[in-house]
Structure 1
Amino acid sequence: MKKNIFVCLSLAALAMGTVSCGDDFLTVEPSTKLGLDGYYVTQARIDEAVTAAYDPMHWYDYFSGWCPLFLVSDAQGDDIYVGGGNEQDQAEIHLASQYKLTSLMNFKGAWTTSYSGINRSNLVIADAEKADLPEDVKKHYIAESKVTRAFYYNQLWKFWGNVPYYDVNLTFPYIAEQKSADEIYRLVTADLKEVLDSKALPMKETAVRSGHATWAFAAMLYADFVMYQKDEAAYPQALAYMKEIINSGQYKLMNEFGAIWEQENEWCDESIFEINYYAKGGIRDWGDANKPGGTVVPAMIGVDGLSGSPDYVGGWGFCDVSKEVYDIYEETDQRRDGGILCMEKYIADCAARGIVVKYGGRYQNTGLFLRKYIGRIGGNDGATKSGDLNWDNNQRIFVMLKRY
C-alpha cells in the first residue's frame, strides 16, 4: 500500500515538474469563458445570438452623432425642418436636408450599425443551419434572421444605394463586391419573398416575444422596398401581402390615432413592428451613448424652453413640423393633432384651464412639434444614467394607419 502511494505521489510530482516551468501554469481560464466553436449549438444559445442580432437596431438613434433614422429621412422631404440651435447643430442632418452630404460629413455611424446587424444576422443563419434542432425551429431562426438582415440592408440601400452585399460573412481579406441599388433590391426582396412564402414566421408574436420579426413585419419590409423602388410590376404582390395582414384579424385600428404613441400602448393592436427602448435601469450616458437603455429622441425633438406643461417635458427643439403639413389635414382628421403638437393651440387650451405654458423657439421654429415622440412627464423614470438619453419610447417602424 505504501509503495503504491509513493508511486502515485511520485508520478504526481513528475507531472507537476513537467509543467511547472511553463508560462501558463498559473493562468486559470474562467469557467464562464467558452470558445465559439461548438457554442451556438443549442436553442438557448442561438436565442442569445438572435438577441445580439437585434441589438444594433437600438444604435440608430445615436452612432457617432445624434441622428435618429426617422429624423434623417424626414429632413430630406418637406414635412419637417431640422431645427435645433443652428445649422451647425447636428450639421450632418442639416446637410442631408439640403442634399449636400460629403464623403467626410455623412451618417457613417448608420453604415457601421447596419453592417454590424448584417454580420450578426448572418451568424445566426450559419449557426442555425449547423445546429441539431427540429426542422421547424431551424427554419424559424433562419427566416427571422433573413428579415433582420433585410431591415439593415434597407437602411443602407435607402441612404447609399450602391453598397457591398454579402449574405455569408466575409473572411480574409474581407472584401465584398459592391452591388448596384437595383441588384440590392432584387436580392433582398427575393429573400423576403422566400421567407413570406415559407410561412416560417407567425403573423404576430406573443406579448412576451414582442420585438421579434413576424410575417407581417417581413411583408411590410417587402412593400417598403417595392414602393421605394417604384417597381409597379411588384405592386400586386405587395398589395396581396397587405391584404393578408388585414384579413388575418390579428391587427386592427385603435379608436384614437394619438393613443398609438403613448407608452402604455406600445405593441398595441395596431403595431406591426417597433424597436424596443426602456428607461428603467437604462445606463446610456454622455460618453457611453451606445450602452443599453432608452432613446434620445424625446429629448432631441422636445419643445425647447418649455415650462408649465402638465403633460410634456421640454427638449432641444429639433424636428419642427412644417406649417404646410399641419394645414393640409382636415380639421376633423385625428392624424393632425394626434401626431402634431400645435403650441399656439396647446397654450390656449392650457390657459382655459388656468395653466400658464411657455416655450422658447429655436432655429427654424414653426410652433409645431412631433407629438408622437416628445417626452411625456415620467417617461424616463427609472433611468440610472442620463435622463435625456434614456427615454422609454419605442420607435414605431410599421403600424396600420388607415383612418380619416
Structure 2
Amino acid sequence: MMTIFHKNKQQLALRLWQQMSSLLLIPLIFTSCTKELVENPRSLAVENFYNTAAEVEAATNAIYIPYRDGLPLLVAQHESYTDYCYGRGTYAQLSDFQGLNTTNITRIQSIWDLFYLSIRNANLVIKNAPNGNAISKADADKYVAEAKFLRAFNYFQLVRNWDGVPIRTEANMNDIAAKRNTSQEVYNLIIADLKVAESVLPDVSAQIGRPNKWAAKTLLADIYLQTANYNEARDKSDEVMKSRRYSLVSIASTDDFQKIFGPEVVTTTEEIFYTKYTRQTLLGNFWVAFPNHPGTKLFGAGGFFANYSDANNLVYKNQDNADLRKAQWYSYNIGLGTTSLLSKKFIDPLATTTTAAGNDMPWYRYADLLLIYAEASCRAANAPTAEGLEALNQVHRRAYGKIPTAISTVDFVLGNYNASTFVDLIIKERGYEFQYEGKRWLELKRTGKAAEIIKAAVGKTIAQKHYLWPIPISEMSFNPALDPVKDQNPGY
C-alpha cells in the first residue's frame, strides 16, 4: 500500500481537506495499482475514528495537505523580497519593499489559513491518538511525535512572518477566542514539540517524506540559530553531521543540479526533510510555475514568469563564473529588456498543469545543516572554527564540481576571516546556494542584514512595515480575543 510520501509513478494521496470548525475527518483511501486519484469521502465522528494505527496514520497524513498547498505561495512571496530576484506582474510591488498591497494581503491570508488548518489537523492527532482502543502505545506515540514535528514546522513559518501569533493546541483548538501570544511563547511551544519529536521519531523514516529524529534535530538547530542560542544550534547540527546519514550529492556540470531538484527525483543522500509532490494535477508543486516562461518549454504548463532576475543584478554580476550555481540562470527576454534572466533550478517539462510539477520542495537538505553548523560554531566561539570552515567548504566545493569532502583549490582559508567576516561569508554563500528555495528573506531578517544587503544589491530602502505581514482579516474578524488596533502589526 502506498501513501502520500511515495511519488514515483504511483498514487500519492487523496486531496484531503478538513474544515477548521469541524471535528470530523475524511479518511484517505490509497491504492498502489493505479495512478488515478481515488476519492471516497466518508465522514466519521472522532470517537469512532482514532482507534487503529491505520486510522491514526490517515489522520496524520491529513496534516500534510494544507501546508503542502500553502508553501508554494509562501516561496513566491519570499523570493520577491530577495537581493537576487524580482517580482513581476502582481508580485512586482513586493520588490519595492514597502509592504503589501490588497492583492498580496489576500494571498498571505490564504497562507495563514492553510498553516492553521494544518495545525488543527495536528492537534486532532495529538489529542485523540493516545485514546484509541485498538492502537499500541508505541504507534500512538509515534504519530503524536510526527504531528508535533509538523505543528512546530507550521508555527515556525508563522512566527517568522507575523511575529507573535495565537497559539492553538489540542487544549484550546475548539475555542474561537485565542489571544495573540508573544514570539517567545510560540518558540517555547515549537521547542517543546521538537524535543518530543527527536526523542520518539525513528532513526529512519518509515516512508520517504515523513520526518525522522534527524529531521527534528535539524529543525531544532535552525530554531536555535533563529533565537540566537548558538551553542545549542552548534551542538544539535553537530549531532546530525556525526550521524553520517547524509551527504551532499556530487555534481560535475550545471545540469547535474537536476539530480537534486529535478521532477523525477524520489530522494537523495542530502534530503533531510522535503515537502513531497508528484506529477499529478493538484498534487504537484505550484511554485514551479512562478519562475518559468511558456516560451522556454522548461515547464510543460507554461509558467507565470512572476519571479526573475537581471544580468545587471549585483548578486549575479559578483558571483564567480566558475560557480556552477550561477549557470542555473539563463538569458531570456520576458518583455522587460534583453538582460532578463530566468532560472532552470526548478523545471518540469512534462507537467501538464500549473499544479502538476513533480519537483519536491527542499526545506532541509544537508547543505542547510552544514551552513547552520558553520555559522553557529563561529558565533558560539566568537571566531571561525576549523570544523565550521570545513562545513562551509563542503558546500562551496560542490558548487564548483569538486568532491565535497576533499580539500580543493577553491577552499576558503581560516586565517583570512574573523567572526564578523566569516558570518558575512556564510550569508553570501547561502545567497548562492538556496536561490529559489524561499529561505533568503528570512535569513536576511534573522541576521539583521536585510536593509544593508537589499540597499546594496537593488537600491531599495525597506519600509519598517515590510518586515512583518498583517494579521489577516480572517483572523481579526472572527477571533474576539484580538484587538484590531493593538494586535495588528505596525503599518496595517
Q: What is the TM-score with the length of structure 2 in the denominator?
A: 0.59
Structure 2: which amino acid aligns with 1:253? Answer: L
Counterpart Cα distance in 2 of 1:144 and 1:278 = 22
CA contact (8 A) 1:81 1:364 kept: no
Counterpart Cα distance in 2 of 1:31 and 1:361 = 43
Matched, 1:264 2:252: no
Match of 2:356 among 384, 390, 398: 390
Counterpart Cα distance in 2 of 1:266 and 1:43 = 26
Matched, 1:329 2:319: yes
Counterpart Cα distance in 2 of 1:316 and 1:156 = 26
Q: Which residue of 2 aligns with 1:76?
A: 81
Name structure 1 gaps, 5 residues minimum.
1-29, 62-66, 285-292, 344-358
Q: Which residue of 1 aligns with 2:126?
A: 125
Match of 1:377 among 327, 334, 349: 349
Q: Which residue of 2 aligns with 1:241?
A: 236
Structure 2 counterpart SS, 1:204: coil
Structure 1 counterpart SS, 2:329: strand
Counterpart Cα distance in 1 of 2:41 and 2:167 = 38
Counterpart Cα distance in 1 of 2:125 and 2:245 = 28
% identity of equivalent residues? 24
Q: Which residue of 1 aligns with 2:183?
A: 181
Structure 2 counterpart SS, 1:277: coil
Relative to structure 1, is the Cα distance of residues 365 and 164 closer, same or farther in structure 2, using a 3 angstrom cutoff?
farther
Q: Which residue of 1 aligns with 2:63?
A: 53
Give a deviation string over 1:280-319, Cα, whole Å, max 9, x none.
Answer: 4x2x3xxxxxxxx21222222103533xx6x665522122
Counterpart Cα distance in 1 of 2:66 and 2:125 = 14
CA contact (8 A) 1:319 1:370 kept: no
Give a deviation string over 1:73-93, Cα, whole Å, max 9, x none.
Answer: 23223121112xx3xx247xx
Displacement after TM superposition at 1:117 (Å): 0.6
Paired residues in the alignment total 320
CA contact (8 A) 1:216 1:245 kept: yes
Structure 2: which amino acid aligns with 1:272? Answer: I
Q: Which residue of 1 aligns with 2:223?
A: 225
Displacement after TM superposition at 1:99 (Å): 3.7
After TM superposition, the structure 1 = structure 2 runs for residues 332-351 of structure 1, keeping only pairs within 5 Å, are: 332-337=322-327, 340-343=328-331
Matched, 1:44 2:46: no
Name structure 2 gaps, 5 residues minimum.
1-39, 368-393, 397-492
Structure 2: which amino acid aligns with 1:166? Answer: R
CA contact (8 A) 1:219 1:242 kept: yes
After TM superposition, the structure 1 = structure 2 runs for residues 69-108 of structure 1, keeping only pairs within 5 Å, are: 69-83=74-88, 86=89, 89-90=90-91, 94-95=93-94, 98-101=97-100, 105-106=104-105, 107-108=108-109
Counterpart Cα distance in 2 of 1:175 and 1:96 = 35
Q: Which residue of 2 aligns with 1:114?
A: 115
CA contact (8 A) 2:275 2:362 kept: yes
Counterpart Cα distance in 1 of 2:319 and 2:216 = 30
CA contact (8 A) 2:76 2:290 kept: no
Give a deviation string over 1:335-374, Cα, whole Å, max 9, x none.
Answer: 332xx2222xxxxxxxxxxxxxxx432458853223221x
Displacement after TM superposition at 1:174 (Å): 1.6
Structure 1: which amino acid aligns with 2:358? Answer: D
Q: Which residue of 1 aligns with 2:278?
A: 278
Structure 2: which amino acid aligns with 1:368? Answer: L
Displacement after TM superposition at 1:37 (Å): 1.6
Q: Greater Rg, structure 1 or structure 2?
A: 1
Q: Which residue of 2 aligns with 1:315?
A: 303
Displacement after TM superposition at 1:96 (Å): 7.0
Structure 2: which amino acid aligns with 1:77? Answer: T
Structure 2: which amino acid aligns with 1:205? Answer: S
Give a deviation string over 1:151-175, Cα, whole Å, max 9, x none.
Answer: 1111111111121002225366521
Displacement after TM superposition at 1:102 (Å): 5.8
Matched, 1:299 2:309: no
Structure 2: which amino acid aligns with 1:179? Answer: N
Q: Which residue of 1 aligns with 2:408?
A: none
Relative to structure 1, is the Cα distance of residues 192 and 365 closer, same or farther in structure 2, using a 3 angstrom cutoff?
farther
CA contact (8 A) 1:274 1:395 kept: yes
Counterpart Cα distance in 1 of 2:95 and 2:127 = 37
Displacement after TM superposition at 1:242 (Å): 1.5
Displacement after TM superposition at 1:243 (Å): 1.8
Relative to structure 1, is the Cα distance of residues 187 and 147 closer, same or farther in structure 2, using a 3 angstrom cutoff?
same
Counterpart Cα distance in 1 of 2:264 and 2:183 = 39
Runs of 4+ in 1 over 3 A off after TM superposition: 30-34, 102-105, 169-173, 311-314, 362-366
Structure 1: which amino acid aligns with 2:306? Answer: F
Worse-superposed segment, 102-111 or 124-133: 102-111
Q: Which residue of 2 aligns with 1:138?
A: 140
Structure 2 counterpart SS, 1:396: strand
CA RMSD of aligned residues (A): 2.8
Q: Which residue of 2 aligns with 1:204?
A: 204
Matched, 1:361 2:334: yes
Displacement after TM superposition at 1:204 (Å): 3.4
